[in-house]
Structure 1
Amino acid sequence: MLRAGKWGAVALMTACVLSGCANKTRQAPVDERSPQTSRSATKPLPGAENTGKAGYYTVKPGDTLIRIGMDNGQTWRDLVRWNNLENPNLIETGQVLRIAPPAPEVVATKPGTTPAAVANLPAASAGATPAMPAASAASAAAGAKPAAPVAAEAEEAVNFQWPTRGNLIAGFDEAKNKGLDIAGKAGDPVLAAADGRVVYAGAGLRGYGNLIIVKHNNTYLTAYAHNQALLVKEDQAIKRGQKIAEMGNSDADQVKLHFEIRRQGKPVDPAKYLPAN
């Protein structure tokens, strides 16, 4: 009986060992794929078909709609609309965004009809027929392609004024300082440099603190950074010389106004656009 019991115990132990081994071999294999696998590996990012095309921008790490808009002379609200974005705070690295307004839709008309755009013009301009210069008339008669219109720089010109009084402590440097730094005291008035519309007022752009961006026309933006108080709201129309903020040191090492002028999104030296001070 003991001998049989001994062999029975050995058999039972052997069965347990085999069972344990069998269970071990049934465990799921470790998934060695990276947890940060890009979604682009399985599904193209929004706008990928427009990569490299004029009027489009590929999102880089750290980008925000505010910065993309300012760098391209557009408003973040326009970018949201042009790209049908549901959440302006959710853009992905590699995503391709439209940064230029869509081309106006051309409405085909039947012979003898007047397009709505022309029909809605004031009577004086709708019925007027401007005289064509002789050279242009000759070109048109010959079927030549008319020359491309010269950019209407005079129409886009802006009469800028200094946004505050104070000592200039840092000038424009395309690589290091994209505008002018003007010293002052906390609470000093910050004035709109020209007529325009506020397209951003907030603290969502790193390095600028409490920031106001004003769009003056399709060419020029101005930016006013490091304020302690913002006195205007987005989409508000403002006038040249209007107090829009109070000087401060938000996201800065001292009280100052950082002032930028951007031409088609590119920073330019404000000193070349401002009157002698």
Structure 2
Amino acid sequence: MRKESIVSKWKRNVIVLLLGLLLAACSSNKASTSKAGSYSGSVYTVKRGDTLYRISRMTGSSVGALASLNGISAPYTLEIGQKIRVKRSGGSTAKKKTAVAKSAKPRSSSSNTSVAKVAAPPVGARCWRWPASGKIIEPFSSSDGGNKGIDIAGARGQPIYASAAGTVVYVGNQLRGYGNLVMIKHSEDYITAYAHNDTTLVNNGQKVSAGQKIATMGSSGSDLVNLHFQIRYRATALDPQRYLPPQGSRPSC
């Protein structure tokens, strides 16, 4: 019974994180996030990297309204090329709504489904290792729709390591835009994510040690061979470069 309870708790935490990742609208390719999907009247055509949250920000609609209008249920998975109906108000055009959305004040936390931000933990509160070596081709961004981790370039097959000891809580490719994904839970507060893997070398529920090889670098769900790496603290994305030691060195804590 205890084992079943622990597994159920893991699943609940993973679902929360997956929703957070979806709403973050992260992409490993700047080009794919810089181009907006196309409008046709009151219809929006989904492009690569889109999420319902990102579309809601672009169109001035709430996530709940778009989901209800289009019959989309959580976790709000979208297909490239999918047509999303956008409710029109007062005869305004889609272009006008987009302009209003850009100039509008930020919505309150009750009007969208994104995870509430929490205060970031102090640097050095926990030891982290670099999951892979390579050039940072996309840094962290805290802006809406920004990159909620860092993208590390490398060679296909290059090893990827656990940034800290923990338990694997997700191995799969069901989350669109992340390809083969591994997530490790390090405590009740911390989870790390490793995306676009070529191969995965761990299983759900497996205990891993800091620096253990967990996958190899690839381009699944991406246009480039790279590792997309996230550190989440209570489901809020942190800038990994604030907490990682200098590349090539071990943590001193």
TM-score normalised over the length of structure 2: 0.50
Deviation of 1:93 after TM superposition, in Å, equals 3.3
The letter of the residue matching 2:16 is I
Q: Any residues of structure 2 matched to 1:1-277 within 5 Å, and which?
A: 66=14, 68-71=16-19, 93=73, 157-174=125-142, 175=144, 176-277=146-247
RMSD of aligned residue pairs (Cα, Å):
2.8
SS of the residue corresponding to residue 169 of structure 2 reads strand
1:172–1:236 Cα change, 3 Å: same
The letter of the residue matching 1:166 is G
SS of the residue corresponding to residue 222 of structure 1 reads strand
1:94–1:245 Cα change, 3 Å: closer
Checking the alignment, whether the CA contact within 8 Å between 2:170 and 2:182 is kept in structure 1 is yes
After superposing on structure 2, the runs of 4+ consecutive aligned residues of structure 1 that deviate more than 6 Å are none
Deviation of 1:94 after TM superposition, in Å, equals 7.7
- Could you give the per-residue CA deviations for residues 78-128 of structure 1, whole angstroms, max 9, x where no partner exists? xxxxxxxxxxxxxx8389xxxxxxxxxxxxxxxxxxxxxxxxxxxxxxxxx
1:167–1:94 Cα change, 3 Å: closer
Q: Which runs of 5 or more residues in structure 1 are unaligned?
A: 1-63, 74-91, 96-152
1:185–1:251 Cα change, 3 Å: same
1:65–1:93 Cα change, 3 Å: farther
Paired with 2:191 and 2:235, the residues of 1 have a C-alpha distance of 7
1:72–1:248 Cα change, 3 Å: closer
Paired with 1:67 and 1:172, the residues of 2 have a C-alpha distance of 23
The letter of the residue matching 2:225 is V
Paired with 1:201 and 1:189, the residues of 2 have a C-alpha distance of 16
- Could you give the per-residue CA deviations for residues 224-269 of structure 1, whole angstroms, max 9, x where no partner exists? 0000100000000000000000000001011000000000001110
Paired with 2:19 and 2:130, the residues of 1 have a C-alpha distance of 22
Paired with 2:154 and 2:73, the residues of 1 have a C-alpha distance of 39
Across the two proteins, how many residue pairs are aligned to each other?
Answer: 139
Q: Which runs of 5 or more residues in structure 2 are unaligned?
A: 1-11, 22-71, 76-120, 248-253
SS of the residue corresponding to residue 16 of structure 2 reads helix
1:233–1:171 Cα change, 3 Å: same
Q: Percent of pairs identical after alignment?
A: 44
Paired with 2:189 and 2:201, the residues of 1 have a C-alpha distance of 24
SS of the residue corresponding to residue 234 of structure 1 reads coil
- Could you give the per-residue CA deviations for residues 142-196 of structure 1, whole angstroms, max 9, x where no partner exists? xxxxxxxxxxx79x94210100011111100123101000000000000000000
Checking the alignment, whether the CA contact within 8 Å between 1:195 and 1:240 is kept in structure 2 is yes
The letter of the residue matching 1:68 is V
Checking the alignment, whether the CA contact within 8 Å between 2:131 and 2:161 is kept in structure 1 is yes
1:173–1:72 Cα change, 3 Å: closer
Larger radius of gyration: 1
Checking the alignment, whether the CA contact within 8 Å between 1:191 and 1:241 is kept in structure 2 is yes
Paired with 1:199 and 1:205, the residues of 2 have a C-alpha distance of 14
Checking the alignment, whether the CA contact within 8 Å between 2:161 and 2:211 is kept in structure 1 is yes
SS of the residue corresponding to residue 241 of structure 2 reads helix
- Could you give the per-residue CA deviations for residues 188-240 of structure 1, whole angstroms, max 9, x where no partner exists? 00000000000000101111000000000011100000001000000000000
Deviation of 1:276 after TM superposition, in Å, equals 1.8
Checking the alignment, whether the CA contact within 8 Å between 1:185 and 1:248 is kept in structure 2 is yes
